[in-house]
Amino acid sequence: MSRTLVIAAHPDEPEIYAGGTAALLARAGHAVKFLTLTNGDAGHHVMERGPLARRRAEEAWRAADALGVVDYGIFDIHDGLLEPTVANRLRVLAEIRAWRPDVVIALHADGPGHPDNRAAGRLVEHAVAFCTTRNVEAGKPPLARQPVCLVMTDYASLGFHEPDLAVAVDPVIDAKLDGCLAHASQFLEYAPWQRGFLDKAPAEGDVAGGRAFVEEYWREFLVADERARPLLEKQYGADRAAGVRYAETFKVAEYGRQVGEGELRDLLGIFG
Q: Give residue-wise pLDDT tens across range 5-21.
A: 999 999 999 999 999 99
In angstroms, rounded to a whole number, what is the distance separating the alpha carbons of residues 152 and 128? 16
User: What pLDDT score does 272 carry?
Assistant: 74
Query: What CATH number did the domain enclosing 258 receive?
Result: 3.40.50.10320
Structural domain for 260, as ranges: 3-268
**0.85 cut: is pTM over it?**
yes
Q: How confident is the model at residue 129 (pLDDT cuts 50, 70, 90)?
A: very high
Average pLDDT over residues 125-138: 98
CA distance 64 to 113: 26
By 3-state DSSP, what share of the chain in percent is helix, strand and coil, each rounded to 5? 45, 15, 40
Q: How many domains does the chain have?
A: 1
**One-letter identity of residue 237:** G
